[in-house]
Structure 1
Amino acid sequence: PQYFQYIQTAKAQAVTANFKMAVDAVTNAYAATNNGQVSNVYTTLNGQAAKDIADPVYGRGTPAFLVTGGAPVCGQVAITSSVISAAGPASVTLTVGTTGCSGSLGTSIAAALSSAQFPHAASSGVVVTQNGSVQN
């Protein structure tokens, strides 16, 4: 239908916003380790119920963020570690799932991420290291 492109673009932009938020959360968690803080990025992002923020593609019941243990579905942001402390991990990789996206939604998500300076988010991922650097 004629409105599909607008809906698709909004979903891709929402996924991109979630990805930026996840990168910021991991970067901030690493910064907090300098003060001896231990951060659980998963609960910070998803909320206590783990589903407070829903995947923009699937909606309620599917969390927007996933910590390793499964492949992310379309629109989910996967993070390789939930707990970040001075002891590690040395880096965290974040990726966005495009598997199972209908039509060209996966391509739209990848394009939106690329335009937000994360060209590898939907493929090999973005790495945030302990010193706070973000390798796009």
Structure 2
Amino acid sequence: RESRPKTVGQIAGLAKKIFAWRNKTRKAVAKADKLAENGKFKAACKIYEDTVKKDKSYTVIVHRTWDAIVEKDLVDGFYFPDVPDKIDGLDGLAQERLKKAKEHYDKKEYAEAEKLLEPMVRDKFDHEAVKKAGKLLEKVKEAKESGKK
């Protein structure tokens, strides 16, 4: 929206709206951190990306309130500046989780490997580590089946 708040009441309303959004988003980012920790990288990435998008929008609106002209594409998020780094870090987390699962597989700890791989594969995060996790999960299940016989 191109217009900006002109009255104290409108500015206070905007501040209240942003305050509520920040509290809600802080909880969502914490949830995304947990999801990423549990191997659900696609779900975490979606929350992070939504946060970055809204953060930039609110940053632009607030700057307009103070007569500063900023463009959404050029501005960094003001309220959650660490979230873009978390998106970039998901690749590393996926690689790390795959590495741990491979170590469990090599030690013939198939149940532990399956616990690490299953959420990653079900979540369908578009990343090379997740594709490798799918292949490793098949091997783990085959090994578990052959061990039961």
TM-score (norm 1): 0.39
> Which of the pair is proportionally richer in helix?
2
TM-score (norm 2): 0.36
Bigger radius of gyration among the two:
2
> Which of the pair is proportionally richer in strand?
1
